[in-house]
Amino acid sequence: MISADAIRGYVDLMLLSLLRQRPSYAYELAQQIHAVTGAEYSIKQTTLYSAVKRLEGASLVTSYAGASESGKPRTYYQITADGLAYLESKVAEWRDTRSVVDRFIEGVEA
C-alpha cells in the first residue's frame, strides 16, 4: 500500500490525467484511482475534494451540474485548456524527477 505522504504531490497529476480522458464526478474519480493503482492507493474523500477545488480555483478544471443514470444530482469536473497545458508540464516534470531518483536507486554513476 502506498502511503498518502508518498503520493501527495502527484494527486493533481493523477486527477488531471483521468479528466483528460473524459469529464467525471468525484466518486467515480476515486474508484478509477483505486482501479488503476490495483488497490495500492485509495484516495480519501477529503483529499479528493480539496484537490478538485484547488484545481478549479486555478482554472485547471471546471465543474458543472449533471445527473446520474438514476437521476441523482452530481457535480462533474472537466479539464480546461489551461489544465491540459499544466498536465503536460507536470508530466514532463515527473519524467525528469523519476529519471533523477532512478539514478540514485539504481546506483548509476555520473
pLDDT for the residue numbered 56: 98
Q: Which three cell numbers stand for residue 92?
A: 514532463
The answer to whether the predicted template modeling score (pTM) of the entire model surpasses 0.85 is yes
pLDDT for the residue numbered 108: 63
pLDDT for the residue numbered 22: 97
Query: How would residue 78 be classed by pLDDT, with cut points 50, 70 and 90?
Result: very high
Domains of the chain: 4-106 (1.10.10.10)
